[in-house]
Structure 1
Amino acid sequence: MRVEEFLRESARKHGRKEALITNSRRLTYDELDDLSERMAWSLAQNGVGRDDRVVIFMENIWEAVVSIFAALKVGATFSPINATTKTDKLAYILQNCRAKAVITQSKLSGVAAAAVEMSPTVELTVVAGDGENKLPFALSFSDCVSHRFSAPLRHGGIDMDLAMLIYTSGSTGRPKGVMMTHRNMEAAATSISTYIQNVSSDIILNVLPIAFDYGLYQLIMSIKLGATLVLEKSFAFPQAIFAVMRREHVTGLPLVPTMAALILQMKDLVPGSFPDLRYITNTAAALPPSHIAQLRKLFPDVRIYSMYGLTECKRCTYLPPEKLDVKPDSVGIAIPNTEAFVVDDDGKKVPSGVIGELVIRGPHVMQGYWEDDEATRKALRPGPHPWERVLYTGDLFRADEDGYLYFVGRKDDIIKTRGEKVAPKEVEAVIHACPGVIEAVVVGVHDPILGQALHAIVVAQSETLTEQSIIRHCAAHLEDYMVPKSVVFRMELPKTDTGKVSRRLAAETLEQVQ
C-alpha cells in the first residue's frame, strides 16, 4: 500500500475522529484528508507530478502534515527538512535532490528564499502563515487549500516508488539522502506498531521534529492506525508539555535521552502523574541503565521500550519491556519481520560475546543514498542470498547467548589510547551511573604520548560534583586505560539538529580550548 492510502483509509473508517491536535488547530481525519487533497490539486496544477521532489521546510505545524500527504497524493517524493537548517545546507539539499517545489512558512521564508535563489530546479514555492513572506512569487498556503476538486488525484504510482528522501544529519561531511519507498515505510510502520501494540484508541504525543525519522514515524504510524497525534514544536518547556499530556489523555510518549534527562530532573513529578500513559519509547541513542531504572520508578505502570535504529532502515531492534530487569543495557532483539546479526570484517557471523558490525536484513532497508553510488555500495552489500543486499550499519555490537544485542559504539567512534581500543559508550555508561550526572559524552583528543587521550564532558545536577569525584568513580569501575584524563562541566552538551549528542562537536570544543 502507498503511504497516502493510510490517510484515505483512516478517513473512511474514522472520518469524524481527531487525527491531529496542534496549538493552533485540531483536525479530524475527514478534514486532514480534504485539506491534503486540495493542496495536492494545487501542486498538480502548478506542474508538480509523479516522482518530483517536494521539500517541506517547516516546524511541527499542521500545515506540514497536510503538505506531506499532499506531496504523496500527487505522486511526488517528499523530503522533510528541519526548521533549524541554515541557508547553505538547505541550498545543498535543494540542489542535490533537484527539488521541484518547496513548501515552507513565513518565519522561515528568509532562509528558504536565499536557498531557492541558488537552486535552479525549484519552480514552485508555497508559504504558510500570516507573517512577512520573503519568497518572491510564492503561492499562499491558505489559497492552495481553498482549491476545489472534483475527485481524488490518480497519479498511477505503485508502492515501489520513492515516498521519501530523508537526509541524514550530516555530522560528518555533506548530508546524504536516504531513499525510502512506500513499501519500505509501510514495512517499518507495521513492524514498530506491532511490537509497541499500538491501537486506534492511542493518543501519541510527538515533540520530536517530523524532519527527524523518529518524529516522522509517529505521524505515519498514527495515521495508519487511525490513532490521534498530538503535535508539539519542542520539549523546551516540559511543564507545558506535561499539561498537554494530562489534558489530551496521552497514551504514548516517544522520547530521546536528552528528554529523559530533563524529565528526571523535574522535582514535582511523582508516580501516577500521567494516569493515561501506557508506553514510553526511546531511540536516537541508548538510555543509560541508570536512567531506565529511574524512569521505571517514576512510571511504574508504563511499558518502557529501549530501542535502536538508524535512518537507513528506521528501526532495527527493541527490548521487550519485560526484559528490562534482566538485560537493562541491551537494545534487544530484531523488530518483527527483520533479521539482525553481528559479522566480522569479512562479513561472517561471529559467535556470541564477540564484537563485530551489526547487519540488518528486512523490507524496511533503504534503497540506497540518492545519487551516491560509493556510499550506497559501502552500506548495502550482498546478503545471505544471491538476490538481496543487506544493510551494514557501521555500528559495533555484540550478542549474548540468548541472542540479545548490545550496542558497543560507532566504528568511527572507537578511541585508541595506550595501544588499547576503547568504546566511549562503555565509559559513558559508568559516568551516567555516578550520582548527580545528568548527561555525559566521552571523546578522544590527540595526545603525543597516549595517541588519543580520553576526556569527558558532563552536565551535572549541582556544583558539588567535581572532576576528581567522577574520575575516582570511573577508576573504581573501569580498567586504568579507560579512565578519562580530564572531566569538564558544561550547562549542556553539543547536539545535532535531531537532538543527538554530537561526539564530533564535543571533541572540537575540547580541542579549541586546549
Structure 2
Amino acid sequence: MYLLHTFLEKTRQKYPDKPALFSGRWYTYREIDEAANSLANYLRAKGVRRGDRVAFLLDNGFGYVVTYYGVLKAGAVAVGLNTETTADTLRYLLNNCGARVFISDKNFKKYLKPISPRIKRMDAFVLLRPMSDFPRADILSDILESHSTQPPQVRLINLDLAAIVYTSGSTGKPKGVTLSHLNIVTNTESIIAYLRLTPADRMLVVLPFYYIYGLSLLNTHIAVGGSLVIENRFAFPNVALNSMEEHEVTGFAGVPSTFAILLAKTNIRERRLPKLRYVTQAGGAMAPTLQKEVAQVLAPARLIIMYGATEASARLSYLAPEYLESKWGSIGKAIPNVDLFVADEKGRALPAGERGEIVARGANIMQGYWRDQKETKMVLRHGLYFTGDLGRMDEEGFIYVVGRSKDMIKQGANRISAKEIEEKILEHENVLEVAVIGRPDDILGEAIDACIVLKEQSETWQEELQDFIRKKLPPFKQPRHYSLFESLPKNSSGKIMKTKIKELKGLA
C-alpha cells in the first residue's frame, strides 16, 4: 500500500544521494527525507495526531517540500495556503481548517502581524527565519538539528486525508477540497504513466506548490526519482529561461499566461533547449492560436494540453501531442483510471455533439468540501463529480469545453467568485450597482470586467475604485477592466441580466 509520503521514502532508498531539489543549492533525497522525518517527530512531540491539520504559508523551496512531507509523515493533513492572500483571509482559513500548527516565514510579515493573537493560540508556530514579533516561535533549522531523523511510527491507511487544498467557492468564501492519500496517489500514478516520466526527468517549477497543478509536479517527480528546479523569479522570465538552460531541464509546466509571457517578453525563439522533452499546459483554456505558436517555438519538445480540477487531485484528461494539429481546442480524453464524459443533469451520458456538463469518476475524485455539505452535494451526485464546465464530445471521443455552468470567472489558474468581487466593490460609497463578468483574454483565458453604475459622476472614478479594491482583494481577484454604465439591464423581477451585459459589450 502506498501513502503519499511513501513515494519519497521509496525513492530515498533507491537514490539516497541523487539531487532531488534545486533551491539555491541542490538537496539530495536523503537530506529531504531526513529533514521531513525530523519535522514529523517535532510535530508528534507537539501533540499532532492522525487527522490533525497543519497549515503552512510558504514560497516554493526546500522549506516547503520538507514541511509538506513532514506533515504527511506525522499522520496529519497538509494545508498549503495561497501566498496571494490578505490577513482576513488567512485568519478565516486557519479557523476553518482548525489548524493546530502553523508554519510560515518572515516574508509574510504583513499578513502574520495583524493576526498574531490567533497565531499565538496555536499549539505551535514554526518560522523558517526568526521574526521579532514572534520571539517564541520555533525555527525550522533548530527543529531539524534537535529531532530524530528516523521516521515516526504512525499507522495510516490510504483512505485517510492527506491534504486540504482551498479553492474559491460560489459564495466567495474559499472551499477546502479534501483529498485522501488514495486520491492523490492514484492521480500521481496516472500522470506518470501518460507523461512517461522516468528518473532522468528534471522539471523547472514556476508554479506554486499550494496550487494543485504545482503540487502534482512535486508528487510525480519525487515518485519516479526525478528532480525539480525551483524558479521563483518568473517576474523576470528571461531569468527563468536561464535556469532552464543551465540545469538542462527536460520538462516545463505552465498556465496559458505563462506561455504568453514567454513568447512576448523573452528571447525564447533564440534559445537552445536540446534537453527539453515536453511542456504541459493546464489551469484554463489556452487559445488555439497560442497553442500553435507554443508548439512551433518549443519543437521538438512536445506540447501536452491537460484538463483537470482541484477536486480531481489535479488531472482528468490530456490531449496527446500526436492529436494536437487535428484537435486544436480539445482537452483530449480521460487519463488512465478515470472516466470522463458529457452528461445531462442526472449524470446520463449524452450522444456525440450534444452539449452538457463534463462529469468524471475515479479514485482521484475528492472526498468533499471541508465542513461544507451543501457545496459538496452540488458537485458530487449520482456517483459522479460535476465539474461545472459545459462541454461536448466529438465522434472520436475527444472532449471540448464550451462554457461554464456557474457564475465563476476562471482567470489564469484561479476560479474566482463574481459575487465576492461585487460585494467588495459595493462597499465603495460612490457605487450604486455592479455586475462582474468574465471577458475573453488571450493570456488569462478570462479576465475580470467590473461593470459599474455610479451614484455621482466623477472624472477620477476608476482610479479611486482601483485604489479602494487594492486594499480589499488580493491581486488575482482585482478586476483588469472597468466599464461605466448609466444603468444595468434587468429582468422583470429586478435581477441584473449578465447575459444582456455581455451582448451590449459584444462579448456574447
Do these two structures clear the TM 0.5 threshold for a shared fold by scoring above it? yes
The SS at the match of 2:146 is coil
Q: Which amino acid aligns with 1:228?
A: S
Residue 320 of structure 1: aligned partner = 320
Residue 332 of structure 1: aligned partner = 332
The SS at the match of 2:359 is strand
| Partners of 1:59 and 1:82 within 8 A in 2 | no
Residue 360 of structure 1: aligned partner = 360
Larger deviation, residues 119-128 vs 241-250: 119-128
In structure 1, distance between residues paired with 2:163 and 2:128:
21
In structure 1, distance between residues paired with 2:239 and 2:206:
12
For residue 408 of structure 1, report the CA deviation from its aligned partner: 1.0
The one-character-per-residue Cα deviations of 1:147-168 (angstroms, maximum 9, x if unpaired) are 2427320111111110001100
Aligned ranges 1:39-118 → 2 under 5 Å: 39-115=39-115, 117-118=117-118
| Partners of 2:287 and 2:445 within 8 A in 1 | no
For residue 185 of structure 1, report the CA deviation from its aligned partner: 0.5
Aligned ranges 1:27-426 → 2 under 5 Å: 27-115=27-115, 117-118=117-118, 122-129=122-129, 132-149=131-148, 151-170=150-169, 172-266=171-265, 268-270=267-269, 273-313=272-312, 314-382=314-382, 389-413=383-407
The SS at the match of 2:210 is coil
In structure 1, distance between residues paired with 2:474 and 2:210:
10
Structure 1: runs of 5 or more not aligned: 383-388, 416-423, 433-437, 449-495
In structure 2, distance between residues paired with 1:276 and 1:498:
35
What is the TM-score with the length of structure 2 in the denominator?
0.81
The 3 A distance-change label for structure 1 pair 119 and 372 is farther
For residue 228 of structure 1, report the CA deviation from its aligned partner: 0.3
For residue 171 of structure 1, report the CA deviation from its aligned partner: 7.4
Q: Which amino acid aligns with 2:199?
A: S
In structure 2, distance between residues paired with 1:355 and 1:154:
51
The 3 A distance-change label for structure 1 pair 321 and 172 is farther
In structure 1, distance between residues paired with 2:368 and 2:10:
29
For residue 441 of structure 1, report the CA deviation from its aligned partner: 3.9
Q: Which amino acid aligns with 2:19?
A: E
The SS at the match of 1:229 is strand
The 3 A distance-change label for structure 1 pair 210 and 392 is same
The 3 A distance-change label for structure 1 pair 315 and 411 is same
RMSD of Structure 2 on Structure 1 (CA) = 2.6
In structure 2, distance between residues paired with 1:198 and 1:324:
20
Residue 510 of structure 1: aligned partner = 483
For residue 333 of structure 1, report the CA deviation from its aligned partner: 0.4
For residue 265 of structure 1, report the CA deviation from its aligned partner: 1.0
In structure 1, distance between residues paired with 2:275 and 2:149:
42
For residue 201 of structure 1, report the CA deviation from its aligned partner: 0.8
Q: Which amino acid aligns with 1:346?
A: K
Structure 2: runs of 5 or more not aligned: 410-436, 454-472, 488-508
Q: Which amino acid aligns with 2:347?
A: G
Q: Which amino acid aligns with 1:398?
A: R
The 3 A distance-change label for structure 1 pair 125 and 48 is same
Q: Residue 6 in 1 paired to residue 10 in 2?
A: no
| Partners of 1:256 and 1:285 within 8 A in 2 | yes
For residue 4 of structure 1, report the CA deviation from its aligned partner: 1.1
Residue 455 of structure 1: aligned partner = none
For residue 116 of structure 1, report the CA deviation from its aligned partner: 5.1
In structure 1, distance between residues paired with 2:242 and 2:377:
48
In structure 2, distance between residues paired with 1:353 and 1:51:
45
Residue 469 of structure 2: aligned partner = none
Q: Which amino acid aligns with 1:10?
A: T
The one-character-per-residue Cα deviations of 1:217-262 (angstroms, maximum 9, x if unpaired) are 1111111111101112241111111111111110000011111111
Q: Which amino acid aligns with 1:200?
A: P
| Partners of 1:112 and 1:135 within 8 A in 2 | no
The SS at the match of 1:312 is helix
For residue 169 of structure 1, report the CA deviation from its aligned partner: 3.7
Residue 20 of structure 2: aligned partner = 19
The 3 A distance-change label for structure 1 pair 173 and 86 is same
The one-character-per-residue Cα deviations of 1:266-299 (angstroms, maximum 9, x if unpaired) are 4632266211100000001111110111112211
The SS at the match of 1:48 is coil
Q: Which amino acid aligns with 2:115?
A: A
The 3 A distance-change label for structure 1 pair 446 and 250 is closer
In structure 2, distance between residues paired with 1:322 and 1:128:
45
The SS at the match of 1:31 is helix
The 3 A distance-change label for structure 1 pair 107 and 349 is same
| Partners of 1:315 and 1:335 within 8 A in 2 | yes
In structure 2, distance between residues paired with 1:59 and 1:116:
20
Count of matched residue positions in the alignment of Structure 1 and Structure 2: 439
| Partners of 1:278 and 1:302 within 8 A in 2 | yes
